[in-house]
Amino acid sequence: MDLDVVNMFVIAGGTLAIPILAFVASFLLWPSALIKIYYWYWRRTLGMQVRYAHHEDYQFCYSFRGRPGHKPTILMLHGFSAHKDMWLSVVKFLPKNLHLVCVDMPGHEGTTRSSLDDLSIDGQVKRIHQFVELLKLNKKPFHLVGTSMGGHVAGVYAAYYPSDICSLSLVCPAGLQYSTDNQFVQRLKELQESAAIEKIPLIPSTPEEMSEMLQLCSYVRFKVPQQILQGLVDVRIPHNDFYRKLFLEIVSEKSRHSLHQNMDKIKVPTQIIWGKQDQVLDVSGADMLAKSIANCQVELLENCGHSVVMERPRKTAKLIVDFLASVHNTDNNKKLD
């Protein structure tokens, strides 16, 4: 090999050594910082911009892409203890000509967390309505998407504010009343009876508990490095007291079955997406909703658990886009008749 070429590799190796070592050090020593950088990178890559909106002294944090057009805006509500960036895996597969808005739910990430805030499902619905009014998203009916707790809020929102939305997608939503409890719910009831709220499976405080939560929520078994598990825990631990307070509120008598109590009031075209192997919220909930909502389509995903958005992002995006197209085309045909 030519000496000049050898020198080039030596120089290149020396030049690359510093950023590579910095990356490894970050991965080993500050995994939580690396996770934040990861989300920042994907928001930037996908064209999602972060903004803030204020209602008096209350702040909403949200990300968006695109502008309102002839197609409905899509507002996306995340689940318990998550944040707006959980939708990035779905956003990746959504057309760039859609106006997308992903908001941090009350008390999560960049949205105000206040001890005075009403964290019940009704309280969260009212907060989301404030956000919608602030951004004037309801100037024209929009499409509302919610998953898990966010699906619970989205469904009740559709019942309370029917004129705001044109259609609805509920992804394995909470808030339904089942005739029998699954293993997860039985375990929760046992924890409540023993007052062991620090052991709620959805609020991990160690890498081992984080791994157990991922296995509970996902059918796909992700091989997550210990450092990343530690980083995920480190990011969550400062918020765990809030998550416990929120969890106890949304499973209270006041909120637990809010969607069930209001599902017959949902009048807009509705799409239900559910993983068949969901261990958190039983898939039979899809049939309950289909029987109560007049214009309802159900999509059950094989080999998929509760974390539909993370496990099947491409499929989720396609289902939403296809559903919107069918509703939109139907509306146009009615106008022509």
Catalytic sites, residue numbers: 148, 278, 306
> Across-strand partners of 55?
58
**Cα distance between residue 202 and residue 189, in whole Å:** 14
Place of tokens 């892409």: 65
Q: Both tokens of residue 300? A: 């059950």
257 phi, psi to nearest 5 deg? -120, 30
**Cα distance between residue 134 and residue 53, in whole Å:** 7
Q: What is the DSSP letter of 104?
A: P
C-alpha closest to that of 84 among 32, 131, 134: 131
Place of tokens 């898939």: 283
Sheet holding 100-103: strands in order across?
49-55, 58-65, 100-103, 74-77, 142-147, 165-171, 270-275, 296-301
**Cα within 13 Å of Cα(204), Cβ side:** 20
